[in-house]
Amino acid sequence: MPRPTRISLALAGALIVSACGGNPEPATPAPAVMTVADTMTPWASSYAPLPSRPTLIRNATVMTAAGPTLANADVLMRDGRIAAVGQGLDAPADAVIVDGTGRWVTPGLIDTHSHLGVYAAPGGSALSDGNEATSPNTAEVWAEHSVWPQDPQFARALAGGVTSLQILPGSANLFGGRSITLRNVPGRSVMDMKFPGAPYGLKMACGENPKRVYSGRGPSTRMGNVAGYRNAWMDAERYRERWDRWREEGAAPDDRPEENLELETLAGVLRGEILVHNHCYRADEMLVMLDLAEQFGYRVTSFHHGVEAYKIADVLAERDVCASLWSDWWGFKMESYDGIQQNIPLVHAAGGCAIIHSDDARGIQRLNQEAAKSLRAAWEVGMEGLDRDDAILWITANPAKALGILDQTGTLEQGKLADVVLWSGDPFSVYSRADRVWIDGALVYDRADPSLQPVSDFELGQGR
């Protein structure tokens, strides 16, 4: 089938919709994570995989993120899934054969902390939609209602091998609102990009940001921050109990408790349906937040930024809390002052779930290089036991775990979604580039083919 010279988001969205009927891998329904009374309808994902062909990548160096690197190995994708990984694989008669000689294959990269779409390019106040800085608690807002699918930065991330990403509200508030996990494909609506079945996240922030933003009308100290969390969780407990009691007793509709969007999100956390992603830099504050979680019976899924995570690496490992971190950002404010370049390797070496995240529209394009910097920093202080098979976890399997999608993606294992990147060489080399990217087994990016380099309608409107 001939391809257009450029794929606009609107046209690609139409292709996605038209492909629904004949695709062998229908999208999984989104989970019901709204009100306990089932009186609200979730904003359902309309994502559907693009049509794919059986594809066999032959004779490449394959990093599965589920075991050791395989030399001269093959990866077979079929029906949107990983069909097999190994040597000497047979291809179906209609398969596309890709020569991987001299190239490397990895799972698609995953970013746990992005603001693409909510702080869209080209920037400015008109596109600043990530911080609802009107109250210390804005748990009622959802990032998906700010995401602009035409943000050209999505395509830049795709060119860096990123196949899935979590879009978070900003960190001005104690409770910033719900996050959304996206498939990095063009869409007319954010719902066309919404990862089917991925749980929602709740963005929380501790430390300098909320106490600075609300110093004149809310918490102005760290103890004020913590008091704000505790009051909110106590309200959420009472809200959850009222709804649970109403359901259990089978009370009349007229006795139904009043719905509250803010408390509904917090109650979803207490029920274990919504994952907590907590912006927090200092070790002592992370420990406070863990105590808070223990008091109210929820768990922190991942601390974000965590410049001092290395100081409590053993605690994070023991409590199975991931740490979404930078390779070397530090010192740009007081709570980020005590950073070291071995932060990620030390969390990993303690048995923890270490993650490279971006929080940056440029950094998301180079997650592989950020991981390489952390690996090199480990070697420089004698941590020779860490190698590339450890570093690949920081940008694939571990972020998938933190987003609650590891059962679907993040590793190259039979039956998982065929999210695959073919690199020009060692992905941890500054000279390597993502040559091709597949999502659900569909080739969505090819560095050598302009028709497979998505361009948003916004860019087309600028005369590109």
Q: For residue 315, is it within any domain?
A: yes
Distance of alpha carbon 312 from the chain centroid: 23
Structure pTM? 0.91
Q: What is the pLDDT of residue 311?
A: 98
The overall average pLDDT reported for the chain is: 91
| Cis geometry, peptide bond prior to residue 199 (ω within 30 degrees of 0) | no
Q: What is the pLDDT of residue 275?
A: 98
Residue 82 backbone dihedrals phi, psi, to 5 degrees = -75, 115
- Residue 464 pLDDT greater than 60, yes or no: no
Instruction: Grade residue 11 by pLDDT with cuts at 50, 70 and 90.
Output: very low
Percent of the chain with pLDDT over 90: 86
pLDDT tens for each residue of 371-380: 999 999 999 9
Amino acid, res. 446: D
What separation in angstroms does the CA of 294 have from each of 214, 256, 270, 303?
26, 30, 11, 15
DSSP state, residue 58: E
Q: For residue 2, is it within any domain?
A: no
Residue range 401-421: mean pLDDT, rounded: 98
Q: For residue 120, is it within any domain?
A: yes
Annotate 401-436 with DSSP letters as a single string. HHTT-TTTSSS--TTSB--EEEESS-TTSTT--EEE
Residue range 236-240: mean pLDDT, rounded: 97
- Residue 397 pLDDT greater than 70, yes or no: yes
- Give the residue numbers spanning the domain of 76: 9-461
Amino acid, res. 137: N
pLDDT tens for each residue of 179-216: 999 999 999 999 999 999 999 999 999 999 999 999 98
Q: For residue 84, is it within any domain?
A: yes
Which residue pairs, CB below 8 angstroms and at least 24 apart, start in 245-254? 246/37, 247/36, 247/37
Q: What is the pLDDT of residue 16?
A: 34
Name which of 14-28, 31-45, 53-67, 406-420 the model is least confident about.
14-28
What separation in angstroms does the CA of 377 have from each of 39, 169, 342?
52, 31, 6
pLDDT tens for each residue of 122-175: 999 999 999 999 999 999 999 999 999 999 999 999 999 999 999 999 999 999
Residue range 391-411: mean pLDDT, rounded: 98
Question: Among candidates 387, 363, 435, which has minimal Cα distance to 113?
Answer: 363
Q: Where are the beta strands (DSSP E) in 187-259?
A: 201-205
pLDDT tens for each residue of 249-258: 876 777 889 9
Q: What is the pLDDT of residue 42?
A: 67
CATH, residue 109: 3.20.20.140
pLDDT tens for each residue of 274-318: 999 999 999 999 999 999 999 999 999 999 999 999 999 999 999
CA distance 341 to 370: 11
pLDDT tens for each residue of 79-111: 999 999 999 999 999 999 999 999 999 999 999
What separation in angstroms does the CA of 6 have from each of 102, 151, 427, 433, 455?
29, 16, 27, 21, 7
Q: For residue 1, is it within any domain?
A: no
Please state the domain count of the chain.
1
- Beta-bridged to residue 302, according to DSSP, are 277, 322
Q: What is the pLDDT of residue 36?
A: 41
Q: For residue 396, is it within any domain?
A: yes
- Residue 23 pLDDT greater than 50, yes or no: no
Q: For residue 132, is it within any domain?
A: yes
CA distance 464 to 460: 5
Q: For residue 128, is it within any domain?
A: yes
- Beta-bridged to residue 278, according to DSSP, are 204, 303
Q: What is the pLDDT of residue 230?
A: 98
What separation in angstroms does the CA of 334 have from each of 209, 216, 337?
11, 20, 5
Amino acid, res. 65: A
Amino acid, res. 423: W
